[in-house]
Amino acid sequence: VVQESLNTRITTNSTTYTSTGLTASITPTSTSSKILVDVRVGSGASQRNLNRVYFKVTGGNITLVGSGSAGHSGHFTMCPRAADGTHNQIPGSMLLLDSPATTSEVTYTLEWCAETSSYYSVMNSSYADNAEAQNDVTTITLQEIAGA
């Protein structure tokens, strides 16, 4: 089992996926092994309420399904809905099962993007980043599951 974490507040207004800086690597012992990828996003927020924050994991043989109306294919989406968009913090998580079919090291990366470049998205804190904001931790945990 491998776990990496990111506990700093980061922001983006990119509408194309970019790395959050959180990566984890594992070396499968068999080509038939599967890798359970567990991502826990401490919190996602946005500068403006109703502004979506998109997340996905890249690496191995992970594929995306579906496509958002704005063309953002991802593994999950946060859409903070609060009267004041600067004070929302929403946690999120996802479990993915990968079949990398290799015994070489495989690296997984958490990527994200904003719905629009007009407003910033935030991870691990609220947009306001004031005294009331809790600083959160985002983790990625990898576990090898033996193949048959």
How confident is the model over 54-103, as pLDDT tens digits?
A: 889 999 998 776 555 555 667 777 776 566 555 667 788 889 999 999 99
Compute the distance between CA of residue 60 and CA of residue 62 in angstroms, rounded to an integer: 6
Q: What angle do CA 16, 75, 46 make, to 5 degrees?
A: 55
Q: What angle do CA 8, 12, 16 make, to 5 degrees?
A: 130
Q: Which residues contact 68 (CB under 8 A, 6 or more apart)?
A: 52, 54, 74, 77
Lowest mean pLDDT among 36-40, 46-50, 54-58, 118-122: 46-50
Q: Which residues contact 139 (CB under 8 A, 6 or more apart)?
A: 3, 4, 5, 6, 22, 38, 39, 40
Q: Which of 30-39, 41-50, 58-67, 114-123 has the highest mean pLDDT?
A: 30-39
Q: What is the pTM of this model?
A: 0.86
Q: What is the pLDDT of residue 108?
A: 97
Which position has the higher pLDDT, 107 or 46?
107
